[in-house]
Structure 1
Amino acid sequence: MKHLVFYLLVVAALSVGCKKNTETAAVNLKQSFGNRNEIVLVIDDSLWVGKLGDSIRKQLAKPIVGSTEAEPQFDLVQLDPKIFTTRAKMARNIVLFSTNTVNEFLLQKSVNATPQNYFFLRAQNTDDLLKMFHSKADSIVAVFRTSELNEETHEVVRSSTNNLNELKDFFGCTLKIPDAYYLQVKNEFPFLWYQKDLSSGSLNLVLYEFPIAEIENNQQPIETNLLHARNYIGKEFLKTAKDFGYVVTNIQNTQTISKEKLLEFPVYKITGNWETANDFLKGPFVCYAIRDDYYKRYLFIEGYVNNPFKNKRDQLLEIEAIIKTINFNEH
């Protein structure tokens, strides 16, 4: 099996369907800047307070799925073109809107700094610009999401120096888990629970597996069995400090379950909110259930964010970046 390639490049012509100029050679460019999941929007103040600005905020700052608080998927920084300085042009994620010009939708990479995604939306008038943004918003979001996950994966790899032999022994895989995480629980089930302390809570990374025959048993939909498996693990192993408290996912509540690929493996990605039986803790989670024919199993890797009254979006991104570093050397 080929090793996991950590850093994916988005080919604009395929991913966003837009015209793309030759990329600037990045070798002599300075490092871009910007907080994680931050976008600089260069747009005239008069357009920002109108229907175009409303549409931009609705699409780019919509609440993320799964968070217990209303958090935007991106933080937006609006700059009028008159104050779009040389320093601001080095931001990692930029979208520039302009009118009174030919219609054009363009993505350029590493224009003034690296890495950098620089979108240009140009149109003859505001109505055309609004229509263009409506038609391209999903593509813009996809590029920024991929880019931010790549950057977070870089950070995860840089901060991971420990050789976690228990991952190979229990699951025949490796993960890049930052050194700030420590092994909280180890059980021959097999089950591993890593935890990272936060000032007001914790990040939790959990691995376990179930036989394919238990998940695909024709008695219930696969999606239902995946949730039941997670709840079994929560009751058995994910205990809280309070007596008889444990993590549970309310199957009656809406969870988002989608089919994806990780390496060449089919994956069910599950996002939603966890809560606790006999306790008051709750928060968002992300789970990847990997169908692995080699071991005839579903390998679950999931992260729980326990950070009451704090933002959780970037912590979910960290968990997902860790999961994306998985590698199965034995295959």
Structure 2
Amino acid sequence: MKKLKTFSLIVLLIVFSCKESGKADYLPESVGAVNTLTVVIDNELWKGEVGDKIREHFAAPALGLTWDEAQFSITQIPPQIFSGAIRNTRSVLYVMEDSLNIAHMKSNMYAKPQKVGIVKGRNKAEIIENLDKKAPQFVARYRENELKQAQKRFLRSLNKEKAMEDEFGITMDIPSIYKVGRQADNFVWMDRQIQKGTMNIIAYTVPWDSFKNDTTFVQDIVQMRDSIGKLFIPGEDIPGKENHMITEKAFSPYVFPAEVSQRKAAEARGIWEMSAYPMAGPFLTYIINDKPNNRKLILEGFTFAPATEKRDYMFELEAILKTGRFNTPEGRRENETGPDISRAFLVL
């Protein structure tokens, strides 16, 4: 009898597991353009202070662009028409007045991969409080999901050139549309043509001890970028002047702690310009600790696309750079020592 009960329990567990996995297996693929967010909310709430709070958090300007572009393109729909194919949107925010006061995120409710943020409150004040509390977490998880989807699409057709591997011992999932335009000692430049310009990826290294002073860290990044621009990224010939890429003089770049290939890094976002010619665009730089090789590896993406929105271009470059991985056994996370990352961004 005891054996029979045990067998029955095992059967029930197997059936339950199959049902759970089966649900995920049969969900449709999620849809939606990159960095779009479907907000399901009553029209009256959307037009008032709740809608204002949603726009404040989710349509805030993306950092480091040449003009303001919302970090998410928002489509608002009322709950009564949230059905059918609309529910398969990759990123959803569901907001409503309810008898419950809750805010959380669910995965793969109607499609896969999908993130559905749910915010409820018994009144507008509670909804707004929940939005203030949970919005940063929701934004991070939406972006993470978007990055993973972009990186998955890259795998359909990858660039097979070995410049990054030969020069730096790294691999990245770079779409085949990108081509090596220049390779020199300690420098690789790849680019792709877009409708009104180019998207670019560059890589180089600097010595391990290049950033010694926390207080001058941002200035040191600017100096590093400007020196590489002078060496490798010239502009139009201007009689009597040196014309090359520099970091925009008017504003310092934004700098944050980051992680690439399981290694601590610094992320810098800002605007590049030419030193003697009216050209400019956004850049994204990762300064990655590579202690086994006693160096910092620099991966950067930048875009030139006059009079064109650049948010999604820079998002693609971010997705590519974050696929960077070291090919040596030492490429796994190493024990690094130095100042706290919250203070200095880099563990030096």
TM-score category (smaller protein): 0.7 to 0.9
Of structures 1 and 2, the one with the larger relative CO (CA 8 A, separation 6+) is 1
Aligned partner of 2:131 in structure 1 is: 133
Q: 2:223 aligns with which of 218, 224, 228?
A: 228
Query: Is 1:288 aligned to residue 286 of structure 2?
Result: yes
Secondary structure, aligned partner of 2:221 = helix
Check whether the contact 1:156–1:318 (CA below 8 A) recurs between aligned residues. Answer: no
C-alpha separation in 1, matches of 2:179 and 2:141: 33
Structure 1 distance, partners of 2:191, 2:75, is 33
**Kept after mapping to 2: 8 A contact 1:122/1:129:** yes
In the superposition, the TM-score normalised over structure 1's length comes to: 0.88
1:112 is matched by which residue type in structure 2? Y
Deviation at 1:114, TM superposition (A): 0.8
Q: CA deviation at 1:159?
A: 2.8
> For 1:32 and 1:260, how far apart are their aligned partners in 2?
28
**Aligned with residue 210 of structure 1, among 202, 206, 226:** 206
| Residue 88 of structure 1: how far off its partner (Å) | 0.9
* 1:86 aligned partner: 84
Name the counterpart of 1:150: 148
Match of 1:279 among 277, 280, 292: 277
Equivalent residue, structure 2, for 1:73: 71
SS class of match (1:64): coil
The answer to whether 1:180 aligns with 2:180 is no
Shift of 1:198: 0.7
Aligned alpha-carbon RMSD (Å): 1.8
User: Structure 1 vs Structure 2: percent identity of aligned residues?
Assistant: 28
SS of the aligned residue for 2:190 comes to strand
Residue 163 of structure 1, CA deviation: 2.5
Equivalent position of 1:200 in the other structure: 196
Contact map agreement 1:156 1:321 (CA 8 A) in 2: no
Q: Distance in 2 between matches of 1:86 and 1:26?
A: 18
Q: Report what 1:326 is aligned to.
A: 324
Give the C-alpha shift of residue 252 in structure 1: 5.4
CA contact (8 A) 1:256 1:272 kept: yes
Structure 1 segment 1-331 matched on structure 2, within 5 A: 25-160=23-158, 162-188=159-185, 190-213=186-209, 215-217=210-212, 221-243=216-238, 244-250=242-248, 253-330=251-328, 331=330
1:105-125 deviation per Cα after TM superposition (whole angstroms, max 9, x unaligned):
232211111111112212222
Contact 2:218 2:253 survives alignment (8 Å): no
Of 128-137 and 300-309, more deviation after overlay is shown by 128-137
2:3 is matched with which residue?
A: none
Alpha-carbon distance between aligned partners in 2 of 1:264 and 1:251, rounded to the nearest angstrom: 32
Distance 1:225 1:106 in 2: 41
Larger helix proportion, structure 1 or 2?
2
Gaps of 5+ in 2: 1-19, 331-348
Measure the CA separation in 2 of the matches of 1:177 and 1:242.
Answer: 31
What do the CA deviations read for 1:270-303 (whole angstroms, capped 9, x no partner)?
1111111111110111000112111111111001
Task: Work out whether residues 270 and 286 of structure 1, in 8 Å CA contact, stay in contact via their aligned partners in 2.
Answer: yes
Out of 230-239 and 92-101, give the one that drifted further.
92-101
Q: After TM superposition, what 4+ stretches of structure 1 lie above 6 angstroms from structure 2?
A: none
**Equivalent residue of 1:289, what SS?**
strand
Q: Shift of residue 186 of structure 1? A: 1.2
Q: Aligned equivalents of 1:222 and 1:78: distance in 2?
A: 42
Instruction: Determine the C-alpha separation between the residues in 1 that align with 2:180 and 2:193.
Output: 12
- Residue 244 of structure 2 aligns to which amino acid in structure 1? Y
> Which digits, 9 at most, give the CA deviation of each residue in 1:199-255, with x for residues without a partner?
101001001111123x13559734322221111010111112444431100355221
- 1 CA distance for matches of 2:43 and 2:257? 41
TM-score by length of 2: 0.84
**Structure 1 residues 218 and 77: alpha-carbon distance in aligned structure 2, compared to 1, 3 A threshold:** closer
The offset of 1:85, in angstroms, is: 2.6
> SS of the counterpart of 1:114?
coil
Describe the superposition over 1:84-111 as per-residue Cα deviations: whole angstroms up to 9, x where unpaired. 2312111111111111322222322111
- Partner letter of residue 169 of structure 1? D
